[in-house]
Every structure is written in C-alpha cells, then in structure tokens.
C-alpha cells in the first residue's frame, strides 16, 4: 500500500502524515510530495525517512492512493493526472467538491456511496464536516428543514502565515500579514473572499456542501468568522426540524452517533471548547437547548480540531473505508 501525501510540508499535509501513523494505516511506502523548492527535504514516518519528491515522480512511483492538500489550482491540474494513472485521489481542496461527477464524502454519513471507479474523491470544508457529523443523525430522526450557523474559526484554518501573524502580534513584532487586519484581540467577520450575494466563499461552501452531503432540501445560511485561537473551529448552530423532539432523546442520539462526543453538563460548566478538541478526531457537541422563539428548533454548539476531523482525519478515514472494502 503505497501512499502519496501531496502538500506534505504544509499544516494539513503534516497532520495527514501524523494521522496515518497514529491510526496505523497500512502504509508500505510513504511518498511525500511538495513543490519544487521542497523536493529533497526529508520526512520521517514510523521510524523511516522519506525524501520529498515532485508531482511527476510521485505519479511514476505508482501509489495506490494520494491524499492531496496543496490548494485548489494544484488539485485541478494534477488530480486528473494521478487519476489517469490509476491512482485514487482524496482531495482536501475546494476544487472538486461541487463537481456533480465527484463524491463529497464524510465517512460517517455517505462512504457507502463510494465505488472502485471513484478516482477523485472530495473532502469537504472543515467547518462543514464537523457540522454535518453532528447534525446527520438528528436529520435522520427529525428531518432538518433549516440551519442557521455562525462559526468561530481558528487561524490554523488559514495556514502557517496566519499562525505567524497571530504569534508576532502577541509578541509585538511587525511581520507579514495573512489577514487585512490584526487578528490578536480582534475578530474578523470574513473568511475567504466575498461573492456577489454579499456572502463569503467560506459561507457559501457551508451552504452548498451541506446540501450535497446531507439533503438538497435543507435551507442553510451561514456567517463565518476568524478568531484569535490557535486550533479548533467552533460553531453556534440553530436547527429547525420538521417534527418535534425531546432533549433527552436528542442527547441519546448524539451519545450514540459515530464520531461524536457529547459534552453537555452546564451545571458543572461542561461544554465543548477548542482546547478540548485539540488532537481529537471526534466532534464535540454541547449547549443543547430549545429555541424558545420557534417550534421544533434546537440550539447547539459544535467544536472540532479543524486540522484533524476537519481535514486530515476525514481524508484518512475515506482511505480506510476504501481499503476495508477493497476498492483500492
């Protein structure tokens, strides 16, 4: 089982390699891939050292699966070339997510749709993944009509440059800016660029991806916000169902939902926080309460490690499913 990691030196690529090792994915040879300037760098994995190679070299080495996290333009150019060589690509960029010919997969929800002919598989946006993992079991029971979500997203979602900006600002050092404004002691209500309807691309990703993964009939509206947190995305979610619910039943469903940890004990001040989600693969859910202004409506708080379940772990879980079903 040869595994290529494209974008191996980036934040998500590094996390993918860590997750492959932690989850004991059956890697016989790791093929780390990055830009030309990183070729020759060494990556350690399970006690062995592997040299970073170029895209074409990776294709020539014929991996069984390639985990991509190198940006949309790279994926658009290179994923089809890997696929043409018979390599299954699991892509973490936004390049293929809304392509009607490609599956958009969260394993807890729709892995069963995958077949051996799916050579480019899309990994959803980090903020979408954690929300649908928590909401899908409730949708099965109560039929979600509408979702209103506001996100509180960490700087690691932007990348190394944003982490450096936050750290520089904490130390009073002037440096390169990943954002148009300071992020330390600030909140920026913009993630990605604005579109013609006044929403950002990140907000529209949440809208469109949720519909594609769960149900095209669900109405979704989103506000996505960057906050000065090092890792972990949080979401305030208001969910309207077609049928009424009992809070205890909701708690029971979430306690038994795959990939979910219920943290909901306000009497003892127990609720999900980004610091608790750090290095966890599960989605943490809490602050469950009725919306008292509207029938059949629930408020909830959802937190996850955006580099793990929001990116690296979800991709590795897709690969695990493919291996388990002998699809690669």
Please, what is the Cα angle at 147 between 142 and 148, to 5 degrees? 145
Cα Rg, the chain, nearest whole Å: 20
Q: How far out from the chain centre does Cα 71 lie?
A: 14
Q: Which of 15, 103, 212, 233 is catalytic?
A: 233
Q: Judging by beta carbons within 10 Å of its beta carbon (0-12, 13-18, 19+), is residue 48 exposed, middle or buried?
A: exposed
Secondary structure element (H or E) that encloses residue 147, with its range: strand 144-153
Instruction: Based on the residue annotation, tell me whether 139 is a catalytic residue of this protein.
Output: no
Please, what is the Cα angle at 283 between 209 and 254, to 5 degrees? 95
Distances (CA, A) of 55 to 42, 51, 186: 16, 13, 39
Rounded-to-integer distance, Cα 327 and Cα 103, Å: 15
Q: Which of 59, 89, 109, 126 is catalytic?
A: 126
| Residues belonging to the active site | 126, 233
């Amino acid at each position: 089982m040869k595994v290529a990691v494209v974008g191996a030196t980036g934040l998500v690529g590094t996390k993918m390699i860590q997750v492959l090792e932690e989850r004991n994915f059956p890697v016989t040879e790791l093929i780390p891939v990055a830009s030309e300037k990183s070729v020759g760098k060494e990556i350690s994995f399970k006690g062995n050292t592997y040299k970073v190679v170029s895209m074409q070299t990776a294709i020539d080495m014929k991996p069984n699966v390639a985990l991509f996290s190198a940006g949309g333009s790279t994926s658009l150019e290179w994923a089809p070339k890997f696929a043409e060589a018979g390599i299954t690509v699991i892509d973490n960029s936004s390049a293929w997510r809304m392509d009607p010919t490609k599956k958009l997969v969260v394993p807890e929800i729709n892995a069963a749709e995958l077949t051996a002919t799916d050579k480019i598989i899309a990994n959803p946006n980090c903020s979408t993944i954690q929300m649908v993992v928590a909401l899908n079991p409730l949708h099965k029971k109560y039929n979600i009509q509408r979702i209103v979500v506001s996100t509180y997203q960490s700087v690691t979602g932007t990348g190394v440059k944003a982490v450096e900006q936050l750290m520089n600002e904490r130390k009073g050092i002037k440096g390169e800016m990943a954002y148009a404004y300071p992020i330390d002691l600030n909140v920026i209500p913009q993630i990605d660029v604005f579109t013609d309807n006044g929403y950002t691309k990140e907000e529209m990703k949440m809208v469109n991806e949720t519909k594609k993964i769960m149900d095209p009939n669900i109405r979704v509206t989103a506000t996505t916000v960057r906050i000065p947190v090092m890792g972990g995305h949080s979401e305030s979610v208001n969910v309207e169902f077609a049928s009424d619910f009992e809070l205890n039943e909701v708690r029971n469903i979430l306690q038994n939902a795959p990939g979910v940890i219920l943290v909901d004990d306000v009497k003892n001040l127990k609720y999900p926080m980004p610091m608790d989600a750090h290095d966890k693969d599960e989605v943490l859910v809490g602050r469950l309460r009725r919306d008292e202004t509207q029938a059949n409506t629930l408020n909830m708080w959802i937190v996850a490690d955006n580099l793990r379940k929001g990116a690296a772990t979800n991709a590795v879980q897709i690969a695990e499913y493919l291996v388990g079903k002998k699809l690669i």
